[in-house]
Amino acid sequence: MNDLFDAIEPRDPSREVMADGAILLRGSALSFEADILSALQAIVGQAPFRHMTTPGGYVMSVAMTNCGAAGWITDRTGYRYDRIDPESGQPWPAMPDCFLGLAIAAAAEAGYPHFVPDACLINRYEPGARLSLHQDKNERDFANPIVSVSLGLPATFQFGGLKRNDPVRKFALRHGDIAVWGGRSRLCYHGVPELKEGEHEKMGRMRINLTFRSAL
Ligand code: MD3
Ligand code: FE
């Protein structure tokens, strides 16, 4: 059936199916690079990157900020979405139109035509930073996918199953790659092992990942 489909409509080489519901669109953000980077600069001016503390008392090696109606936060009391940035006491910066348009277009391309994000978590990795294996389950409705945009240094991404001990597969995520995680992949465990040392021509010594969510 897949072969028949490919014969009619040849597979787009920039599109990879990672798992049921998980689609990788290689380089899809590259044509919006300049708009994304200037929007990012404005967001970080209002809501700077910070290292949050987990409920267990660990300071995360990944620095984070948010834009949109809600932002993901963690502190000693737990993980949650909040409309207010706890550092400023103000609402998170608005979601820029170029972020919103990119996320909606990528989700539609991956087969989720109704996705409208209300939150964008922005992760900054410097060499050595890592995100241990976890599930994203603070969002209200898991029928909505998550869209991620990778910028800067390349990272290995670990993609597991519905149980923490399920085997993981590894994918390289590079500058400009967009991935959409929905359906049967939505609650899969995933993580990013220590970022390797390097220097990216546009982003310098870091990796930034935008994850668009329908949280509220
Ligand atoms: C698979 N971020 O912010 S993006 C996160 O590269 C997060 O910063 C990683 O995991 C990063 O929660 C990975 C890819 C990603 C995001 C969400 C997912 C993969 C996902 C949700 C479900 C399954
Ligand atoms: Fe995650």
pLDDT in tens, 132-177: 999 999 999 999 999 999 999 999 999 999 999 999 999 999 999 9
Tell me which residue of 81, 72, 73 sits closest to 53, measured CA to CA.
73
Hey, what domains does the chain have and what are their CATH numbers?
17-169+180-213 (2.60.120.590)
Q: Which of 201, 189, 114 is nearest to 158 (CA)?
A: 189
- Centre of ligand 1 from the C-alpha of residue 151, in Å: 13
DSSP string, 69-92: SBEEEEETTEEEEESB-TTTSSBP
Q: Is the pLDDT of residue 56 over 90?
A: yes
Q: What number does the ligand 1 atom closest to the CA of 189 have? A: 23
Q: What is the pLDDT of residues 102-143, one digit of tens each?
A: 999 999 999 999 999 999 999 999 999 999 999 999 999 999
Query: Which pLDDT band, with edges at 50, 70 and 90, does 31 fall under?
Result: very high
Q: Which ligand is nearest to the CA of 189?
A: 1
Tell me: pLDDT of 199 over 90: yes
Atom of ligand 1 nearest to the CA of 121: 3
| pLDDT band with cut points at 50, 70 and 90 for residue 12 | confident
In 3D space, the residue among 80, 35, 29, 32 whose CA is nearest the CA of residue 55 turns out to be 80
- The residue whose C-alpha atom lies closest to atom 22 belonging to ligand 1 is 186
| Single-letter amino acid code for the residue at 4 | L
